[in-house]
Chains A and B, each alone.
Chain A
């Protein structure tokens, strides 16, 4: 292991400076969210008498409690499905050498390119015909299908970089393909799974137009829909709006924070052999 040298210290200082620069807009966001109404000092000056009242107001005004539950349910269920079906699909795509696997990979890649606008109306009508409008299941179905290409793409990319020797060993030990996948391949994919999970979670958590359309007219809401309804209403009251925005971001940031060590640590061990 490398030592902490003077050069490392220089790097440390540099990186912290860069981090501060990145954090500046977030500072403005949080700084304004704790400000009292009528405080008109500059947005960059630290708030002198911070208050959490905006958070309480935002929480109540936007009805965030129920929306939070829906957002968590939709995100969690979708993630489980996406991770399972995408890692399964990526396995033959990354390993098989036949011509069809290349074409199949391109077919999935196509899903990344298609503008969402093309599918909008026909898909909405399919979901209507399934009778799922107004329920969170419509969203789960939507995200599962929509995020599969992206996730397959990530899984296949990283799977190709992993040597096949582990699976080969498992196959020799008499494991069938299903057992080989779940006992050998899937654990090897752990770091990528972390990446797939967090990147998909961000997208699903934050999506706005889909829940607005699919849950419209039902009592169900997700966090962004609740928050933005509220942005439209209190448009000049930035303190309140920013407090609502901070609330909507915190859960996902927390998940990333808890997961990031696993994502980063688990990987090296898996690849050293």
Chain B
């Protein structure tokens, strides 16, 4: 992988002649970025994702159990069933809650971390690695680790007691009122560094001179951020919000390993419910219907968010 990187890391072209720009604009329509560049990506994507997903979605209109040849068309029956299934509606509400918590907190922390290490501090390189380290681990691994840490006599409660805050000790995953937030905290811990890296990549695009000029003008740190940094970060913000929203809606590993959706159904999310129906309840077709609903919800939310950001960008 390092070799690959070596090969692609040619120095960027420099010394653009500014007088060339007007002439270039005239030639823009000459197919500078031909559409056929997309073909290899489209073929792979269609073969692995699009076509199988459409074929898979077909099961949602049948009564297939997941095994055997017995299958008949049942129309929208499975979708009607979702409305009557309190486990499904609860899971939807909990999925929305955990997604909101993750999207907001993870990105806020990620942004603060990025701003913190995008400075002259001596530990910046070290911190960039350290803060990103959790994101490198398999979610299943971190979930195991946190399950261990969240145990009633585990590391978290132990830490609280060690610093004299024993009163803050909780039954982190066993109390149905806080279990969902405990799971959200795992995701935030793991992926705040991930958001940070994307923000950092965006921050590199903000010329330091601009910051320094603003500093001389006496602009406050917040104003500098709002008027100079934030607009430049727009692509990073879009990507981060989109990724954490989608990741939140699809959250599976962290929930499944720590609580399995429990206690009761208090941390059940749409993905854990899909998994259980598909492989444990013998209700493959029904699980597919929930998956279709999940896809529609995520698409709708993403569309609204994308549109909102586009408009904001236009206004800025």
Chain A positions near chain B (C-beta within 8 angstroms): 1-4, 8, 11-12, 14-16, 18-19, 22-26, 28-29, 42-44, 75-76, 79-81, 83-86, 88-89, 91-96, 100-101, 104, 108-123, 126, 141-142, 144-146, 148-149, 152-154, 157-158, 160-161, 164-172, 177, 180-181, 183-184, 186-188, 190-195, 197-199, 201-202, 206, 208, 224, 228, 231, 238, 241-242, 245, 248-249, 252-253, 255-264, 266-273
Chain B positions near chain A (C-beta within 8 angstroms): 1-2, 4-5, 8-14, 16-18, 20-21, 23-25, 27-28, 30-35, 37-38, 40-42, 44-45, 47-53, 55-57, 59, 113, 116-117, 119-123, 125-142, 144-146, 148-149, 154-155, 158-159, 162, 189, 192-194, 197-198, 200-201, 204-205, 207-208, 212, 232, 234-236, 238-239, 242, 246, 250, 271, 274-275, 278, 287-288, 291-292, 294-295, 298-299, 302, 306
Rounded to whole Å, the gap between the CB of A91 and the closest CB of chain B is 5
Of A94, A144, A164, A260, the residue contacting B125 (CB under 8 A) is A260
Q: Which 9 A-B pairs have the closest CB atoms?
A: A145-B48, A168-B24, A267-B204, A89-B41, A119-B52, A206-B138, A123-B52, A122-B52, A95-B33
Residues A169 and B24 in contact in the complex (CB < 8 Å), given A19-B123, A89-B38, A188-B12: yes
Would you call A168 and B52 a contact (CB within 8 A)?
A: no
Would you call A168 and B21 a contact (CB within 8 A)?
A: yes
CA distance A146 to B96 in the complex (A): 25
Would you call B146 and A25 a contact (CB within 8 A)?
A: yes
Rounded to whole Å, the gap between the CB of B208 and the closest CB of chain A is 8
Q: Which residues of B contact A249 (CB under 8 A)?
A: 133, 136-138, 141
Of B35, B123, B136, the residue contacting A252 (CB under 8 A) is B136
Q: Is chain A's binding surface mostly helix, strand, loop or mixed? A: helix
Residues A89 and B37 in contact in the complex (CB < 8 Å), given A2-B212, A23-B130, A24-B159: yes
| A265 (CB) vs chain B CBs: closest residue | B204
Rounded to whole Å, the gap between the CB of A239 and the closest CB of chain B is 12
Would you call A181 and B275 a contact (CB within 8 A)?
A: no
Would you call A25 and B134 a contact (CB within 8 A)?
A: yes
CA distance A120 to B291 in the complex (A): 12
Rounded to whole Å, the gap between the CB of A54 and the closest CB of chain B is 15
Would you call A183 and B135 a contact (CB within 8 A)?
A: no
Would you call A148 and B24 a contact (CB within 8 A)?
A: no
| B48 (CB) vs chain A CBs: closest residue | A145
Would you call A83 and B8 a contact (CB within 8 A)?
A: yes
CA distance A191 to B113 in the complex (A): 19
Rounded to whole Å, the gap between the CB of B196 and the closest CB of chain A is 10
Of B8, B149, B212, the residue contacting A190 (CB under 8 A) is B8
CA distance A212 to B49 in the complex (A): 19
Rounded to whole Å, the gap between the CB of A31 and the closest CB of chain B is 9
Residues A183 and B13 in contact in the complex (CB < 8 Å), given A44-B159, A92-B35, A113-B298: yes
Would you call A269 and B274 a contact (CB within 8 A)?
A: no
CA distance A19 to B109 in the complex (A): 12
Q: Which residues of A contact B131 (CB under 8 A)?
A: 18-19, 22
Of B123, B159, B275, the residue contacting A12 (CB under 8 A) is B123
Would you call B56 and A120 a contact (CB within 8 A)?
A: yes
Q: Which residues of A contact B45 (CB under 8 A)?
A: 108, 111, 145, 148-149
Would you call B41 and A86 a contact (CB within 8 A)?
A: yes
Can you spell out 22 A-B residue pairs with CB atoms less than 8 angstroms apart?
A18-B113, A18-B131, A22-B192, A24-B159, A25-B145, A25-B146, A44-B158, A91-B33, A109-B306, A110-B299, A115-B291, A115-B294, A118-B52, A118-B288, A123-B52, A144-B44, A148-B44, A187-B13, A248-B138, A253-B136, A255-B1, A271-B205
Rounded to whole Å, the gap between the CB of A106 and the closest CB of chain B is 9
